[in-house]
A and B are shown apart, each in its own frame.
Chain A
Amino acid sequence: DAGVIQSPRHEVTEMGQEVTLRCKPISGHNSLFWYRQTMMRGLELLIYFNNNVPIDDSGMPEDRFSAKMPNASFSTLKIQPSEPRDSAVYFCASSTGTSGSYNEQFFGPGTRLTVL
Chain B
Amino acid sequence: GDSVTQMEGPVTLSEEAFLTINCTYTATGYPSLFWYVQYPGEGLQLLLKATKADDKGSNKGFEATYRKETTSFHLEKGSVQVSDSAVYFCALRSNSGGSNYKLTFGKGTLLTVNP
Category for how many chain A residues contact B:
20 to 34
B101 touches A109 (CB 8 A): no
Distance between B47 CB and nearest chain A CB, rounded to angstroms: 11
A56 touches B99 (CB 8 A): yes
Chain A proximity mask over B51-89: 1 for CB below 8 Å, otherwise 0: 000000000000000000000000000000000000001
- Number of chain B residues close to chain A: CB under 8 A: 19
A102 touches B43 (CB 8 A): no
Closest chain B residue to A107 by CB distance? B43
Kindly list chain B residues whose C-beta atoms are within 8 Å of the C-beta of A60: none
A99 on the B face (CB < 8 A): yes
Partner of A91, one of B43, B46, B102, B108: B43
By a beta-carbon cutoff of 8 Å, the part of chain A in contact with chain B is 3-4, 31, 33, 42-43, 45, 48, 50, 55-56, 91, 93, 95, 97, 99-102, 104-110
Kindly list chain A residues whose C-beta atoms are within 8 Å of the C-beta of B43: 3-4, 91, 93, 106-110
A101 touches B101 (CB 8 A): yes
